[in-house]
Amino acid sequence: MPSIVSASTYHPPHIVEQGQTAAFARELFKDDFRDIERLLTVFQNGQIQKRHFAMPLHWFKHDHTLQERNDLYIEKAVEYGTEAVKQCLKDDRFLRYSQPAEEIDAIFFVSSSGMATPSIEARIMNQLPFSDGAKRIPIWGLGCAGGAAGISRAYEYCLAFPKAKVLVLAVELCSLTFQRNDRSKSNLVGTSLFADGIACVLMVGDDAQVETKRPVPSILKSASKLMPDSEDVMGWEMKNSGLHVVFSRDIPVIVRTWLGEFVDAFLGKEGISMKEINHFVAHPGGKKVLDAYEETLNISSEKTVHAREILSSFGNMSSPTVLYVLEQFMLDDVKKGDYGLMTALGPGFSGELVLLKWGETA
């Protein structure tokens, strides 16, 4: 089965402690909410300690046009994405030998926080020696589900082309969408939660020639699911000033009532249950979402340790976040035969599941 043989992450340069963002939000929103101090507890209660941004905090104190934001998105996405790809192709934590960019057959580029035509992966192909025949598959609009969905689509590609070597590159610069004149509670919550991140994964088909240093996860199956008529749960609202976050307070409730049946049906078709899942590779949408995962799937807090660590250190970076979690599991001393379940939820409202099984080194 197609395997994930390398994973890398790139951390944007500006580190902001959660206390700093809380103080920033207090100053910005204090005249708009009478209960501002109560609302600001979301910064303390979200289990986020720090986040990485593409721009320094003082940049967010001023208005910026949509063009200015998007130009920055393109510039930084190309810069950071190039570095993540370079690291992924040579990462000696996983790979015995570096993989030449010329041998990559396809690039799945995942993002929802900026717009570019030609898309970002085309611009990165001009920075690195990729073959001009490499397939380009940009995926836009899946938000937090995008990282897992990118893995799913690359898995299907590798099934069709067993000799393929494929990159999944997820780049989100959520901070550049910040709307300082949006006084909604959704924007306040988003200010406490979202961050910037970049992750790249190298996947190979069964007949690709790649040697790894440690056991790697193969993909057994994937599934997607859409909740009908749920467009208002999560996403963007496009206005003249840019992208405005749509973020329903009901998301943890939806996880509790909707995800369990999806997971049980998916695993049941493969003849296994959640009790047999050793490694829960979850997108940490937020503390309440992780709590809901544990409750609805009847799993212990031990299963969400990596997800909570990533949330604490990086916040919710949208699509790359689940790949940050995957990287941590790939660095663990995982046993041959262990099962993993990757899960992520995003706009639609939708879910993506990927069933993993660790095997020998490739």
Catalytic residue among 144, 158, 174, 200, which? 144
pLDDT at 22: 86
Token pair belonging to 21? 């963002």
pLDDT of residue 118: 96
Token pair listed for 245? 């976050």
Q: Which two tokens stand for residue 102?
A: 């010329």
Dihedral angle computed from the Cα positions of residues 114, 117, 122 and 126, in that order, rounded to the nearest 10 degrees: -100
pLDDT in tens, the chain (362 residues): 999 999 999 999 999 999 898 888 888 777 777 778 877 887 878 889 999 999 999 999 888 999 999 999 999 999 999 999 999 999 999 999 999 999 999 999 999 999 999 999 999 999 999 999 999 999 999 999 999 999 999 999 999 999 999 999 999 999 999 887 877 777 777 888 899 999 999 999 999 989 999 999 999 999 999 989 878 787 788 888 888 777 777 788 888 888 989 999 999 999 999 999 999 999 998 898 999 999 999 999 999 999 999 999 999 999 999 999 999 999 998 999 999 999 999 998 899 999 999 986 65
Q: Give bridge partners of residue 351 from the DSSP assignment.
A: 225, 345
Which residue, 342, 18, 8, is CA-closest to 195?
A: 18
State the pLDDT at residue 284: 92
Q: What is the pLDDT of residue 254?
A: 85
d(Cα 78, Cα 87) in Å, to the nearest integer?
14
Instruction: Give the C-alpha separation, 251 to 248, whole Å.
Output: 6
Sign of CA dihedral 202, 208, 214, 216: positive
Q: What is the predicted pLDDT for the residue at 362?
A: 59
pLDDT of residue 16: 93
User: Strand 339-346 vs strand 196-204: parallel, antiparallel, or unpaired?
Assistant: unpaired
**Residue ranges of domains in the chain, CATH in brackets:** 3-204 (3.40.47.10), 217-358 (3.40.47.10)
Q: Give whole-number Cα distances, 293 to 136, 289, 302, 339, in Å.
A: 34, 6, 12, 17
Place of tokens 């212990």: 300
Respond yes or no: is residue 144 known to be catalytic. yes
